Chains A and B, each alone.
Chain A
Amino acid sequence: MLAYSIRRVFQSIVVLLVVGLVAFSMFRFVGDPIDNMLGQERTDADIERLRGELGLDRPFLVQYGRFLTNAATGNIGISYRQGRPVADILVERAPATLELAAVSGLFAMIMGVGLGVFTAIRRNGIMANVIMTVSLLGVSLPTFLIGILLIYLFAVELGWLPSFGRGDTVKIGSWSTGFLTASGLKALILPSITLGLYQMTLIMRLVRSEMLEVLRAEYIRFARARGLRERAINFHHALKNTLVPVITVTGLQLGAIIAFAIITETVFQWPGVGLLFINAIQFVDIPVMAAYLMLISVMFVGINLVVDLLYFSIDPRLRIDRTVSEG
């Protein structure tokens, strides 16, 4: 177990370094930040001076090296656009994204498992078929469009929910939360559905097919023959055995939820790190882009690691295999 963990951590660090390298080699194709930083009345001399000051005239390997050495000392740079430390900006923006991701993850999980079980049990019912058909929309419509549709329906036409933003937030330490105000909670609804819909559909379909598989298994038939109650069979015996792949997928999707929050955040003007990243691309704010990409890859790699270890502890067969193979 320990050797396995250490090896995985080491692999993770290599992955991170490679991601950073690729990111830095791409930045110069994103564009030139200088024009955005200087006003209309800049001269060519100003441009050259600023380029030199920012080190943009150096090869990307040198820039990457400088980023890494600074990052090692805890300094991940200063935003070109805002002129403020990137770390401060990320700390300001992270709660919005994390809360959105948590709520949509929860939404996807609860609705996905619930509907999955429902459609599996009543697989010939009208309702189940309607849900299955509608869920196809969830997978095939782009997030952007779903967001706009929801906004037009619930904000513009019905006027029930806010069309953008986070509502009022309450500060607890450096964490700003929208969970404690009515407007904050209302503001969470549409973006969470938009962001979680795809994952929900995915989980639902996964649970459904796993359930169908399990429901055909012999031990379920025996349970039925023993006269156990239908609910106990479905939720206790059947569902439990479908959860291993569901946990894997959900874990991996949690990373995707945070990373792909970019689009949802743009549509709903949700002030999280995704929106920050989009702004950074438009402005060629290299320090922010670099920090965001590194953060996201740290997160992905971390989640993968955790899922691997969880998997390891949930499924006893894996554990035995591992210990045997690792001697």
Chain B
Amino acid sequence: MTFKRSALIALGLVLSCSAAQAETFKWASKTDPQTMDPHAVNSAPVLGFLNNVYEGLVRRNKTMAVEGALAESWEPLGDKGWRFNLRKGVKFHDGSDFNSEDVMFSYQRASSEAADTASWFAPVSEVKVVDDYTIDFMTKVANPLFPSSIANFMILDKGWAEANGAQLPSKEKENHATLNTNGTGAFQLDERQPGLKTVLTPFAGWWDKAEHNITRAEFTPIQNSATAVAALLSNNVDMINPVPIQDAGRLQQSAGVNVIQGIEARVIMLGFPHQAETLKYGADAGKPNPFKDVRVRKAVAHAVNVDAILKTIMRGNAQPASQLVSPAMSGYSKANAARPAYDVAGAKALLADAGYADGFSFGLKCPNDRYLNDEAVCQAVVSMLAQVGIKAELDAMPVRTYWPELRKDAYDMYLLGWSPGTFDAEHPIRFLAHTPNAEKKLGSWNFGDFSNDRIDEMLAPIQSEIDPAKRQAMLDEAAKILQDEVAYVTLYVQPLVWGARDTVTLTQRPDNFFMLRWVTVK
């Protein structure tokens, strides 16, 4: 009996002590950044997280526009490159001074064979240190977008990296920079336990004026969406990203919680095999590939009722997409903002015209854990296509087996989402629309081998045109060609849904980066 009583007392004591969490801002996301090294992995969770700790020469503001960070200003050197004038008096977290040597070192590190970020520097021919606070990035051809394309190129301290043997990023094995940081950003890394928690504290010596009022920030990965929602509701965390779409409405109605919605940079689309001779799946496997006919691709575009998908599956949280980039990206073609109307009769007529009045059947490949509600979207597409008489057999799989399937051309139609890393319309043209060319590293995600001479011809001028009007004219032309040819059926721009306590004010950017420096807690 005494044991029982003391056990009860102990339990009571445990329950009555409430955790001290007053000052700490806690947030959770599905994925833990797999490394603290800003050059080892080019993935959104890593870059987004490290943007709080490290800084680039330039950075993006609340509306995604590029502004100076470690570079105070920059100017083109004719059409050969860019000169960056670095900010003076900037300190790294360990107190050492920032200068052009650190930029040079970071460039060599980030563009090395071992780095995942090397492709950012493909246009660069040479980098020259002019003096302590001036550095020139020379490009092979004129490159008007270069400064904005390196907003995620983060600068680390040369002395620190060399002293700790982290001269090169390391992915295959651990080095000092995998678990430790030394940046110039608004927050410094206090504690890093991979997969458990990561603690940041404000950097007192930050060069910029702090807008936030955080004294300590703790990040925890929470894989399970239901757990994350419960953690937010029970006030165990202050912010979660993402909120599952189906929970957004309920969460919005809960007391003390806000749902913050926006659209991401990611466009979801259907892709086709443009070169395959035959269909590979379904009852018509082995028969000629109907998707080589542009009329069939057009019919698919008209058959899919995007508004219905958005209303039911996305609960009205997403926007239809007319082209490969969302309206928030630079180079978006306003002239081609209309997407094909939902038109069953028109689609049937196009199919009949192409000789498929009786329809056909084929295989649709789809991921089931990559994009928001991806499998449900594919199921909807299947039923919509059935209404115009073409029968899709859906094969949904986890993304870890999905990409290998697409690389093997094992599909008749597939679902793809694309978020342009540079936030510019040129990016998807380079990766999705240009004829695949391994040597030039072009068209590397163009699984369906779409090929159009005019697009291929325009890519280089688009990359180097300095006059914004001329550049936009080419982007408009490219968008028009891709629409006319139905290279892809663009469906919608993926929504972005975050949840936060109502005491929290924050900024949601379309790149899904969560920046602590804009967070205030009441």
Q: How far is the CB of B137 from chain A (nearest CB, A)?
A: 18
Q: Which residues of A contact B34 (CB under 8 A)?
A: 81-83
**Does residue B230 face the partner (Cβ distance < 8 Å to A)?**
yes
**Does residue A122 face the partner (Cβ distance < 8 Å to B)?**
no
**Does residue B323 face the partner (Cβ distance < 8 Å to A)?**
no
Residues of chain A in range 269-286 having any CB-CB distance to chain B below 8 Å: 269, 271, 275-276, 278-279, 282-284
Evaluate whether A156 and B230 lie within 8 angstroms (CB atoms) in the complex, with A41-B421, A83-B34, A92-B193 already known: yes
**Does residue B96 face the partner (Cβ distance < 8 Å to A)?**
no
Assess the A152–B223 pair: CB atoms within 8 A.
no
**Does residue B236 face the partner (Cβ distance < 8 Å to A)?**
yes
Chain B residues close to A by CB (< 8 Å): 13-15, 17, 19, 34-35, 40-43, 116-117, 119-120, 170-174, 178, 193-197, 220-224, 226-227, 230-231, 233-236, 369, 398-401, 403-404, 407, 419, 421, 431, 438, 441, 444-445
Q: How far is the CB of A84 from chain B (nearest CB, A)?
A: 4
Which residue of A has the minimal Cβ distance to B441? A43
Q: How far is the CA of A322 from the CA of B438 in the complex (A)?
A: 69
Assess the A39–B42 pair: CB atoms within 8 A.
yes
Assess the A41–B400 pair: CB atoms within 8 A.
no
Evaluate whether A35 and B404 lie within 8 angstroms (CB atoms) in the complex, with A155-B234, A162-B236 already known: yes
Assess the A163–B400 pair: CB atoms within 8 A.
no
**Does residue A40 face the partner (Cβ distance < 8 Å to B)?**
yes
Per DSSP, chain B at the interface is: loop
Please name 9 pairs of A and B residues whose Cβ atoms are closer than 8 Å in the assembled complex, sorted by A: A35-B400, A39-B41, A40-B42, A78-B174, A84-B194, A156-B234, A165-B220, A189-B14, A269-B220
Assess the A83–B40 pair: CB atoms within 8 A.
yes
Evaluate whether A269 and B19 lie within 8 angstroms (CB atoms) in the complex, with A31-B400, A83-B172, A182-B14 already known: no
Interface string of A82-108 (1 = CB under 8 A from B): 111100010011000000000000000
**Does residue A180 face the partner (Cβ distance < 8 Å to B)?**
no
Q: How far is the CA of A323 from the CA of B334 in the complex (A)?
A: 89
Evaluate whether A276 and B235 lie within 8 angstroms (CB atoms) in the complex, with A83-B178, A160-B15, A268-B227 already known: no
Q: How far is the CB of B76 from chain A (nearest CB, A)?
A: 24
Q: How far is the CB of B244 from chain A (nearest CB, A)?
A: 13
Q: Which residues of A contact B197 (CB under 8 A)?
A: 165
Residue of B15, B220, B221, B400 near A32 (CB, 8 A) is B400
Q: How far is the CA of A29 from the CA of B401 in the complex (A)?
A: 8
Interface string of A62-79 (1 = CB under 8 A from B): 000000000000000010
**Does residue A36 face the partner (Cβ distance < 8 Å to B)?**
yes
Q: How far is the CA of A30 from the CA of B397 in the complex (A)?
A: 11
Assess the B438–A43 pair: CB atoms within 8 A.
yes
Residue of B42, B194, B227 near A269 (CB, 8 A) is B227
Q: How far is the CA of A327 from the CA of B273 in the complex (A)?
A: 73
Q: Which residues of B contact A93 (CB under 8 A)?
A: 195
Assess the B400–A282 pair: CB atoms within 8 A.
yes
Assess the B438–A183 pair: CB atoms within 8 A.
no
Q: Which residues of B contact A152 (CB under 8 A)?
A: 230
Q: Which residues of B contact A41 (CB under 8 A)?
A: 42, 119-120, 421, 431, 444
> What class of interface size applies to chain A in its complex with B?
35 or more
Q: Which residues of A contact B194 (CB under 8 A)?
A: 82, 84, 89, 92
Q: How far is the CA of A78 from the CA of B35 in the complex (A)?
A: 14
Residue of A31, A168, A268, A278 near B401 (CB, 8 A) is A31
Q: Which residues of B contact A83 (CB under 8 A)?
A: 34-35, 40, 170-174, 178
Q: How far is the CA of A40 from the CA of B401 in the complex (A)?
A: 16
Q: Which residues of B contact A40 (CB under 8 A)?
A: 42-43, 419, 421, 431, 445
Interface string of A291-308 (1 = CB under 8 A from B): 000000000000000000
Assess the A33–B400 pair: CB atoms within 8 A.
yes
Assess the B438–A44 pair: CB atoms within 8 A.
yes
Q: How far is the CA of A168 from the CA of B407 in the complex (A)?
A: 45
Assess the B17–A164 pair: CB atoms within 8 A.
no
Assess the A43–B444 pair: CB atoms within 8 A.
yes
**Does residue A206 face the partner (Cβ distance < 8 Å to B)?**
no
**Does residue A319 face the partner (Cβ distance < 8 Å to B)?**
no
Assess the A36–B400 pair: CB atoms within 8 A.
yes
Q: How far is the CB of A284 from chain B (nearest CB, A)?
A: 5
Among A165, A167, A276, find the residue whose CB has the most chain B CB atoms closer than 10 A: A165
In addition to A155-B230, A269-B220, 8 A-B residue pairs with Cβ atoms within 8 Å of each other are A35-B403, A42-B444, A45-B438, A82-B178, A83-B40, A155-B234, A156-B233, A163-B231
Assess the A30–B444 pair: CB atoms within 8 A.
no
Evaluate whether A275 and B195 lie within 8 angstroms (CB atoms) in the complex, with A33-B400, A35-B403 already known: yes
Q: Which residues of A contact B235 (CB under 8 A)?
A: 159
Q: Which residues of A contact B196 (CB under 8 A)?
A: 166, 271
Shortest 9 CB-CB contacts between residues of A and residues of B: A31-B400, A39-B42, A41-B119, A182-B17, A155-B234, A35-B403, A31-B401, A84-B174, A32-B404
